């Protein structure tokens, strides 16, 4: 849920952007209709949409498609009572919804906005007529039959893997799968007393054996290939070694390899990937460390994610495509429960196949606290590599790894920081990697990069200044920016030149640009273009526009239009002098 302080900051941004540009999966802005009945209907509809999408915040009283606070903030009339609105929503929804609603006082419009905090939970929600929508991105889409079923899966009411397989368990179990399962769990330091149990007792302790019969989750974990093929015909995996986007020179299938049970599938796919996953050796002191192009931890997390979160109702395999310069891992079934590629790092965990995930979590092969994605990112970032790209394709999720060499200076830096007791998390690593190829970062950019809210991100950036001593801060307020200290930049061998590319202070930039324009005016030379000022200040286009706007009071004017636009000093008029 969005806090009021954060919402006030977002409302300030309406001076520059439309409300629609600020909307996300968990945030929406709505204009308050003039008719009371329409206002109530809209509040009910958006509450249902948000609840089905996992919950979120709705700001009522803000118009879309306009720029400027006065134009956008129309407000909510005083006769719209919070208690009555909550009662109307409660009476018109099924299951009953009881959102929290608060007033947010503003200077514009009627002077008040309503902030509705909608909690997710017992979805799917509908109105009393049975109709509803669900939040997808920044839009509400109709709650069709397929989406209803998907929501039921997400809350555990339709766990496909919890169903019983109608055959005696003993006839379905693969000894090879059980042996490999124990080996992999032992590597993750699963409880020894658990691993010492007999096959049936172990499966019973994992919750996948009931009255002598396996659930589908148990079959996926321990079944032999023939049984999995018979009872779970949609499950499978394929690895293709690609020569180009359309051709491959080698292919393997899980059924052909007799490796469908998850422990065997994981081993077989890893072996095929590692056949073209070279190792580089880095010497550090007396030790030699080996690093693969695709780190083992990142690979395993991505493969387990694909093999456990797939939609077993879809007739599509887990597909691994290994190109010369990248690796793609795709599983059938899109992201669930409001999780998107832009919030997946910190979203509360949700599982499509709950029983399967719970069983593997007891063996410590997967994590129930949503740490798997973070471990995947961290494994790449600590080696100075780009993190994976996660793409939601509606009916599938694709994870893309770029093939990269380990950056020795960065890896050595991380090791030395660890010895000194400074542990960097994914947020710190993402910021440092960004600043190796960019002169600076501001709060919105960092928040988007780390999938954090602005307030959280400012604290993290300040921590990197005050505690870690990695960054320097410039500017003030909303104009604040951070850059890597030049000495650290040189140590990590970043791209570009930190000292040459570092951004100059706002007031210094204004003075420098104004002096340059005055000198050009005295010499009778044309003024500077936006691109010319960007080169001088290292600002972006919008920042240059704001700077010029402030320099108008000093006698700077825009001349021309389009690409030929230049900014020229003409001096202040008598009225401007007062």
The per-residue pLDDT for range 286-298, each reduced to its tens digit, is: 677 789 999 999 9
What's the pLDDT score for residue 146? 62
Assess whether pLDDT exceeds 90 at residue 108: yes
Question: Dihedrals φ, ψ of 316, to 5°?
Answer: -150, 135
Assess whether pLDDT exceeds 70 at residue 575: no
CA distance 122 to 116: 18
Assess whether pLDDT exceeds 90 at residue 448: yes
HSE of 363, CA atoms in CB hemisphere, 13 A: 29
Average pLDDT over residues 333-337: 79
Each residue of 379-390: pLDDT tens digit? 999 999 999 999
What's the pLDDT score for residue 478? 74
What's the pLDDT score for residue 372? 84
Quote the strand ranges of 333-444, DSSP E: 389-392, 396-402, 441-442
What's the pLDDT score for residue 576? 47
- Indicate the pairing of strand 237-242 with strand 318-322: parallel
Report residue 430's pLDDT band, with 50, 70 and 90 as the boundaries: very high
Each residue of 549-561: pLDDT tens digit? 889 988 999 888 7
Assess whether pLDDT exceeds 50 at residue 500: no
* Residue listed under structure tokens 């939609």: 311
SS3 of residue 343 by DSSP: coil
C-alpha distances (whole Å) from 471 to each of 432, 461, 505 are: 9, 8, 15
CA distance 478 to 9: 9
* CB atoms inside a 10 Å sphere around CB 369: 9
Report residue 315's pLDDT band, with 50, 70 and 90 as the boundaries: confident
- Sign of the four-CA dihedral 65, 69, 71, 72: positive
The answer to whether residues 47 and 142 touch, using CB atoms and an 8 Å cutoff, is: no
SS3 of residue 414 by DSSP: helix
Average pLDDT over residues 106-126: 88
Report residue 143's pLDDT band, with 50, 70 and 90 as the boundaries: confident
Assess whether pLDDT exceeds 70 at residue 496: no
What's the pLDDT score for residue 388? 97
Which one has a higher pLDDT value, 276 or 393?
276
What's the pLDDT score for residue 509? 82
**Residue 259 burial by Cβ neighbours in a 10 Å radius (0-12, 13-18, 19+):** buried
Report residue 185's pLDDT band, with 50, 70 and 90 as the boundaries: very high
Assess whether pLDDT exceeds 80 at residue 502: no
Quote the strand ranges of 403-462, DSSP E: 441-442
Here the tokens at position 450 are 């780390």
Assess whether pLDDT exceeds 80 at residue 477: no
Helix (H) or strand (E) holding 121: none
Assess whether pLDDT exceeds 70 at residue 573: no
Which one has a higher pLDDT value, 465 or 544?
465
What's the pLDDT score for residue 119? 85
Assess whether pLDDT exceeds 60 at residue 132: yes
Task: With CA atoms as reference, report the closest residue to 84 among 34, 35, 36.
Answer: 36
CA distance 538 to 224: 61
In our burial notation (b when 16+ CB lie closer than 10 A, e otherwise), range 530-567 reads: bebbeeebbbeeebbeebbeebeebbbeeeeeeeeebb
Here the tokens at position 355 are 């029983």
Average pLDDT over residues 456-460: 95
Quote the DSSP letter at residue 73: B
Report residue 577's pLDDT band, with 50, 70 and 90 as the boundaries: very low
* Mean residue pLDDT across the chain: 89
Here the tokens at position 99 are 């959102």
* CB atoms inside a 10 Å sphere around CB 98: 13
* CB atoms inside a 10 Å sphere around CB 180: 21
Q: Using a pLDDT cut of 90, give the percent of the chain over it.
A: 63
What's the pLDDT score for residue 578? 45
Average pLDDT over residues 102-126: 89
* Residue listed under structure tokens 């790209």: 389
* Residue listed under structure tokens 């994976």: 388
Report residue 497's pLDDT band, with 50, 70 and 90 as the boundaries: low
Which one has a higher pLDDT value, 126 or 564?
126
CA distance 94 to 92: 7
The highest-confidence range among 167-181, 358-372, 403-417, 532-546, by mean pLDDT, is 167-181
Assess whether pLDDT exceeds 80 at residue 515: yes
What's the pLDDT score for residue 336? 76
Assess whether pLDDT exceeds 60 at residue 503: no
Assess whether pLDDT exceeds 70 at residue 151: no
What's the pLDDT score for residue 494? 62
Query: Is the full-model pTM beyond 0.75?
Result: no
CA distance 480 to 464: 14
């Amino acid at each position: 849920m969005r806090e009021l302080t954060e919402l006030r900051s977002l409302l300030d941004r309406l001076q520059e952007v439309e409300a629609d540009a600020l909307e996300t999966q968990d945030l929406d802005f709505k204009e308050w209709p003039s008719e009371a009945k329409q206002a109530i209907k809209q509040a009910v509809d958006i509450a249902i949409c948000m609840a089905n999408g996992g919950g979120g915040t709705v700001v009522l009283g803000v118009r879309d498609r306009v720029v400027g606070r006065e134009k956008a903030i129309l407000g909510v009339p005083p006769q719209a009572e919070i208690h009555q609105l909550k009662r109307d929503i409660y009476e018109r929804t099924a299951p009953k919804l009881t959102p929290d609603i608060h007033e947010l006082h503003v200077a514009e419009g009627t002077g008040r906005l309503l902030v509705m905090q909608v909690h997710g939970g017992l979805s799917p929600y509908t109105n009393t007529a049975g109709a509803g929508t669900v939040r997808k991105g920044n839009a509400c889409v109709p709650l069709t039959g397929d989406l209803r079923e998907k929501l039921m899966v997400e809350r555990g009411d339709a766990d496909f893997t919890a169903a019983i397989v109608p055959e005696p368990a003993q006839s379905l179990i693969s000894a090879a799968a059980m042996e490999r399962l124990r080996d992999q769990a032992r590597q993750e330091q699963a409880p020894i007393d658990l691993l010492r149990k007999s096959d049936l007792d172990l499966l019973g302790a994992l919750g996948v054996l009931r009255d002598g019969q396996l659930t589908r989750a148990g079959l996926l974990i321990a079944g032999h290939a023939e049984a999995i093929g018979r009872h779970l015909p949609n499950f499978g995996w394929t690895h293709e070694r690609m020569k180009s986007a359309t051709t491959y020179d080698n292919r393997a299938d899980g059924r052909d390899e007799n490796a469908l049970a998850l422990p065997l599938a994981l081993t077989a796919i890893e072996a095929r990937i590692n056949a073209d996953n070279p190792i580089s050796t880095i010497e550090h002191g007396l030790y030699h460390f080996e690093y693969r192009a695709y780190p083992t931890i990142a690979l395993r997390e991505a493969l387990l994610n694909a093999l456990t979160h797939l939609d077993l109702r879809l007739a599509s395999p887990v597909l691994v495509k290994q190109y010369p310069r990248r690796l793609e891992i795709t599983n059938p079934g899109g992201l669930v429960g409001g999780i998107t590629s832009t919030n997946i790092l910190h979203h509360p965990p949700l599982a499509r196949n709950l029983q399967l995930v719970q069983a593997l979590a007891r063996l410590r092969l997967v994590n129930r606290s949503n740490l798997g994605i973070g471990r995947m990112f961290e494994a790449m970032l600590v080696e100075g590599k780009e993190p994976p790209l996660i793409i939601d394709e509606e009916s599938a999720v694709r994870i893309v790894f770029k093939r990269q060499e380990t950056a020795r200076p960065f890896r050595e830096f991380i090791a030395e920081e660890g010895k000194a007791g400074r542990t960097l998390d994914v947020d710190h690593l993402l910021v440092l990697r960004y600043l190796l190829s960019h002169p600076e970062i501001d709060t919105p950019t960092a928040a988007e990069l780390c999938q954090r809210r602005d307030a959280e991100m400012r604290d993290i950036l300040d921590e990197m200044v005050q505690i870690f001593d990695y960054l320097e801060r410039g500017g003030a307020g909303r104009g604040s920016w951070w850059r890597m200290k030049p000495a650290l930049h040189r140590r990590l061998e970043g791209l570009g030149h930190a000292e040459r590319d570092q951004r100059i202070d706002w007031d210094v930039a204004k003075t420098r640009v104004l002096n340059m324009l005055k000198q050009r005016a005295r010499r009778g030379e044309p003024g500077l273009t936006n691109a010319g000022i960007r080169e001088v200040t290292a600002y972006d286009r919008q920042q240059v526009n704001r700077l010029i706007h402030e320099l108008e009071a000093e006698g700077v004017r825009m001349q021309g239009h389009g690409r030929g636009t230049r900014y020229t000093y003409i001096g202040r008029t008598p009225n401007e002098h007062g």
